[in-house]
Amino acid sequence: MLDSSTPIQWLGADILTTLVFLPSLGALLLLLLPNGAKNAIRAVALLASGATFALSVLVLQRFNPAIAGLEAFRPLLVDRPWIPRFGIRYLLGVDGLSLILVVLTTLLTLCVLVFSFGQTIPKLRGYVAAFLVLETGMIGSLVALDAVLFYVFWEVMLVPMYFIIGIWGGKRRIYATMKFVLFTLAGSLLMFVAILFASGVHAKATGILTFSLLEWIPAASSGAWSLTASEQALLFWAFALAFLVKVPLWPLHTWLPDAHVEAPTGGSIILAGVLLKLGTYGLLRFAIPLFPGAAARYTPLIAVLALIGVVYGAWVAAAQKDMKKLVAYSSVSHLALVVLGIFAGNVTAVSGAVMQMVGHGLTTGLLFLLVGVLYERRHTREMADYGGVASQVPVTTTLFVIAMLGSVGLPGLNGFVGEFLILAGVFKANVWWAAFAATGLILGAIYLLTLTQKVFWGPNRVEANLGLTDINGWELAGALPMIVLVVVLGVWPQPVLDLVRNSVETVVQIASVRMVP
Amino acid sequence: MNLPLWLIPALPLAGFLLNGSVALFSGWRRARKATAAWREAHPGDHGHDEHGDAGHGPGDHGHDDHGHHGPFLPYGERLFYGVVGVLSVGLAAVVALANAVPYALASTASEGGIGPVVQSVWKWMAAGHVSIDMAFRLDPLSAMMVSFVTFVGLLIHVFSVGYMQDEEGYGRYFAYLNLFMFAMLTLILADSLVVLFIGWEGVGLCSYLLIGYYYDKDFAHAAGKKAFVTNRIGDFGMVLGIFGILALFGTADFSFVDMAKAGAVNGTASITVYAVCLLLFLGAVGKSAQVPLYVWLPDAMAGPTPVSALIHAATMVTAGVYLVARCSAVFVLAPDALTLVAWVGAGTAVFAATIGLAQNDIKKVLAYSTVSQLGYMFLACGVGAFGVGMFHVFTHAFFKACLFLGSGSVIMAMHHEQDMRAMGGLGRKVPRTYLTMMVATVAIAGIPPLAGFFSKDQILGAAFAGGHLVLFAIGLLTAGMTAFYMFRLARMTFYGEFRGTPEAEKRVHESPATMTIPLIVLAAGSILVGFLGVPEALGGANRFVSFLAPSLATAHPHHLSHATEYVLMALSVGVAAAGILLAWRWYGQKGATPEVPSAAAQAFYEKTGALGRLVENKWYVDEGIEAAVLSPFRRIGTFLWRGFDSLVIDGIVNASAFLVELTGDLVRFFTTGNVRNYALSFTLGVLVLALYVFLR
């Protein structure tokens, strides 16, 4: 096993453990506070999420992106026995892929909490606590390298999200929560069975009972894990289904629009910004490297579903009348493109997919945030209730247009880099897939420009909108870091591409070995 | 003195950031005041309450009167926007000329020109087989483009200072205009197709923003969206074309042009090259408003008139021609693709000209004229005369910008009246506008020795020389129609009697110097710039075309005898003169009214019956697209959502949920909480298990 002593210690705990549990520590601290102590709650929220963000940046700074392969995990690896009887370990580690998503998570959580200070939120203490616990679940899922530990964090995320939608959600929140939980749970239970089964087969083949990815992945690619083709197929689908529900890939997507519409603004931002990305992350971390043969075999099927998703999501988005539902369907379309990129199986496409995971988190998060600004003031998400509000809310309009253009994939903003690299890579893998997927460029412009047009342009048709106030200070403070990144990552994406290059190359290499029979 | 190329787009970008942030702040303050005032007048209706949707309130009150006819901005603020806007473009023009002029001199001095100057600024993105530098390139083609774009751009900025002075959105306007200059200059100076694409979509964005400048008007933002989406259809092809170039040459930077010239295509079938050219051309068709993607350009006239002059006539819409010229070395490898380019160009030229014949909105005439002239440029490229096509891009920029700015001056004189039927006799009232516009009209009509003559004549000559007699005939016919609709415009606007109301007549006024000086400069350009490319038959050396030659494909020129050239010139001038005479006769009748400006024209349209109505109604293309494409698109979208998502997918989910519930009910039958029942089922279970074990 790898050496468990890590070079960075912080308050006696290793840095990754601190990173995972610091937000929950904040949540615990909140329990000590009375419910009405608004400023104290805000201070704790800021402190916990701010410190977590700072810590993730510190990890980013310490991380050495030059190390290739699984060795990349080693410098910051945390490895302790957890349930020794079953070979389950407390195994944490980061590579470029998980690290960029961790930073995205900590940033978005900070932004969401800062943003929420500018809004009227009942039971603020519980709200903040739920987001902090959720953050622990998200970071934990991203840094866990033991399959069981991963599964635990994966399910931990479900609980706070359940409450966020169920308590702070809209009118049909109970229906939406149930749908969200059932879809996700159905997928993840399948994954849990697969995890147990996989470790059983692994133990039988190698004599080692372990759930460590650092053992599984080499075993899988060397063939030591002697899975039959049908076993591989079953395991692959058990994992892939759990992740594809989360993405969500057509036709498993119908929980998402309802969840988004009913979730409070912060919930929507995190849902779109991070939770969906955990689906695509799971594909890259588990489904493909563990079962490369099956992944290769089912690539055409998944690619077709993804292509349908790109067009279908966009097309249905264009028919929406509810702002949040429109943005939700746009996610279905955008994430389908990410899935297509992941399965295109070359470095260009997968790099683009990772870039787009980050980019979509920022732009779609922003779109939900700005819709939330309007909703807070007018309590309606219907586009027909707006129209021409650009005159009243020029700053919100400007931010919205930038985010919208980022989502449309305007070159110079972040969305373009991901989309361009995905399509370039897909084009290399299969020209017709690329041609079909590129229609998303046209459809994306249609529904996003329509949204902008119906809400912000035109004469003012609803009198109450004349009293609409612009985005306030806290809300703006939450939005600003995201807007800045939308621009910066558009003109200077190379640092992110460099950070994830080795992770991407590792996945592609593992996958490609088995692609050639 | 070594000013880096990146400064050229960066200066307008800085102007955009400065003007944009100040304008946003000032707009925010004004909005805050207005909202606060409204809230004071409507206490208790703040929509800030926790419960209920306050949104379904009184509804339609028609607040048309607020907006851009609102209060004038304070003088200081206006001055700031104007100075920043004009200065940033002016400085960009200085840097551009400081780069382009020495380069041009050195290039013309040495035999065969000098190599391109390439400056890489930073690595934009590199992953896998894609690696793109943020790099800029100065070569004859970009030197020529950057010179006239900054020059015309500067004039139009100056014109805007006067034209837009009553606008509340003055700062926003200049910010957008500067952003446009940034994008256009990036497009021109880019050293790779992907960096070019930043500018390509950037100008599309600015076009969207500026067409929708009057964002509270439904026709304006609808036109903006139409422009963006139509361009995106072209960009779909463009992106795939870029991937194709990457596949063919392994790079998207313009070194592929030299590879193509050397014939170093990776041993692929010509069908691949053909497909790549078609895809790139699709992008050009969208950006340069060719059939069938021209539909957005006439609607784009919803934007302020200087915008129409800068973006929708002189610069942006010629980007498609620029792209084809830039990739000309690839296009000549696929002769069939070039033939298609020529036919699309010629078809667009004549098609748009027919619509131009019967328009009554002064800007619409110019819009269709622009579509038609762009067709000419593609016709030139299609017959292999890329240099001549670029020459027409160059001359057209001067006379068409002059015409659009002139029309802006007329519209301002007429207090926002654009219908030529309500004009007439304006020549005496707005003499400077009138004179400059007439110069440009003569130039576009192709009368020697003005600019349009030289470029248009060479296009027709190239078509004829290449043996494309049908294309030549179409071009000639279009030349006649061009002369007709332009002189129809001139006659209806400046000559005859005023057809509007007497009050309107009294208010007509000439425009201020900030507007007339750019007009005069552009009119002078319309006279002079043609002399840069005087063909050999007329004793010139065609400097313009030979300067550009190193950037373009080495076409195999078909030489015409001087005698043939003289005949062709006489033919094209003759056809133009015929068009002018016809327009003059038809629209010169005395006693014309706003409804019927010309009895003869009316009679003609009636006689042509269905055809005349078709032309007047723009061939019903917009209506056809709505019925055949947009309406089905919307219906299918709604069907997928309501039908497929809600019924099929959720239906399956709900059905399985129902099954689960059913199972749950069955199970509940056993889990009653009654201990004796549990004991019973426990015993039964043990029995079954025991039986199974024993009987196995």
List, as one string, the DSSP characters of B307-371. Answer: HHHIIIIISGGGHHHHHHHHTHHHHTT-HHHHHHHHHHHHHHHHHHHHHHTT--BHHHHHHHHHH
Establish if A54 touches chain B: CB-CB under 8 angstroms: no
Q: Residue A471: its chain B contacts at CB < 8 A?
A: none
Buried b (16+ CB within 10 A) or exposed e, A357-383: bbbbbbbbbbbbbbbbbbbbbbbbbeb
Establish if B70 touches chain A: CB-CB under 8 angstroms: no
Read out DSSP for B598-626? Answer: -HHHHHHHHHHTHHHHHHHTGGGHHHHHI
Residue to test with chain B: of A457, A471, A502, A509, most B Cβ within 10 A: A457
Establish if A171 touches chain B: CB-CB under 8 angstroms: no
* Nearest CB to A411 within list B24, B31, B198: B198
Query: Number of Cβ pairs closer than 8 Å across A and B?
Result: 217
B653 versus A197: the higher-pLDDT residue is A197
* Nearest CB to A392 within list B31, B64, B194: B31
Residue for token pair 């470790």 = A199
pLDDT at res. B500: 78
Establish if B71 touches chain A: CB-CB under 8 angstroms: no
End-to-end C-alpha distance for chain A, whole angstroms? 31
Closest CA to A275 of A354, A161, A175: A161
Under an 8 A CB cutoff, do A349 and B28 touch? no
Closest CA to B410 of B441, B453, B387, B389: B441
Alpha-carbon radius of gyration of chain B = 31
Q: Where do the DSSP E strands lie in B549-601? A: none
Looking at chain A from residue 314 to 353, which residues have their Cβ under 8 Å from any Cβ of chain B?
A: 315-316, 318-320, 346-349, 351-352
DSSP H or E run through A14: strand A13-14
pLDDT at res. B502: 81
Establish if B67 touches chain A: CB-CB under 8 angstroms: yes
Percent of chain A with pLDDT over 90: 54
Under an 8 A CB cutoff, do B47 and A467 touch? yes
pLDDT at res. B302: 87
CA distances from B355 to A374, A402, B584, B597, B616 (A): 44, 37, 19, 18, 7
User: Over 70: is that where the pLDDT of A11 sits?
Assistant: no
pLDDT tens digits for range A341-383: 999 989 999 999 999 999 999 999 999 999 999 998 888 888 8
pLDDT tens digits for range A388-434: 888 889 999 999 999 999 999 999 999 999 999 999 999 999 999 99
CA distance B194 to B198: 7
CA distance B38 to A277: 43
3-state helix, strand, coil in chain A (%, to 5): 80, 5, 20
Q: Which residues of chain B have pLDDT under 50?
A: 47-71
pLDDT at res. B1: 53
HSE-CB for A209 with a 13 A CA cutoff: 9
Q: Which residue of B has its CA nearest to A312?
A: B640
**Are B185 and B149 spatial neighbours (Cβ–Cβ below 8 Å)?**
yes
* Nearest CB to B130 within list A395, A424, A438: A424
Mean pLDDT of chain A: 89
HSE-CB for B35 with a 13 A CA cutoff: 24
Establish if B429 touches chain A: CB-CB under 8 angstroms: no
Under an 8 A CB cutoff, do B127 and A450 touch? no
Under an 8 A CB cutoff, do B240 and A497 touch? no
Under an 8 A CB cutoff, do B126 and A494 touch? yes
Q: Residue B35: its chain A contacts at CB < 8 A?
A: 392, 466-470
CA distance A147 to A161: 22
Establish if B665 touches chain A: CB-CB under 8 angstroms: no
pLDDT at res. A176: 84
pLDDT tens digits for range B116-126: 899 999 999 99
pLDDT at res. B554: 67
Q: Residue B247: its chain A contacts at CB < 8 A?
A: 427-428
Percent of chain A with pLDDT over 70: 97
Establish if B68 touches chain A: CB-CB under 8 angstroms: no
Q: Is A229 exposed, middle or buried (0-12, 13-18, 19+ CB in 10 A)?
A: exposed
CA distance A458 to B242: 36
CA B184, B190, B193, B198 dihedral sign is: negative
Under an 8 A CB cutoff, do B45 and A438 touch? no
Establish if B637 touches chain A: CB-CB under 8 angstroms: yes
C-alpha distance from B444 to closest chain A C-alpha (Å)? 35
pLDDT at res. B24: 92
CA distance A269 to B372: 48
Establish if A405 touches chain B: CB-CB under 8 angstroms: yes
CA distance B73 to B67: 12
Under an 8 A CB cutoff, do A392 and B215 touch? no
pLDDT at res. B694: 63
pLDDT at res. B358: 82
End-to-end C-alpha distance for chain B, whole angstroms? 98
Establish if B65 touches chain A: CB-CB under 8 angstroms: no
* Phi, psi for B369 (deg, rounded to 5): -60, -40
* Nearest CB to A458 within list B38, B216, B229: B216
pLDDT at res. B650: 77
Under an 8 A CB cutoff, do B216 and A457 touch? yes
Under an 8 A CB cutoff, do A463 and B61 touch? yes
Residue to test with chain B: of A462, A489, A502, most B Cβ within 10 A: A462
CA distance B463 to B472: 5
pLDDT at res. A279: 93
pLDDT tens digits for range A451-498: 999 999 988 888 888 888 889 889 999 999 999 999 999 999 999 999
C-alpha distance from A272 to closest chain B C-alpha (Å)? 20
pLDDT at res. B590: 59
Establish if A189 touches chain B: CB-CB under 8 angstroms: no
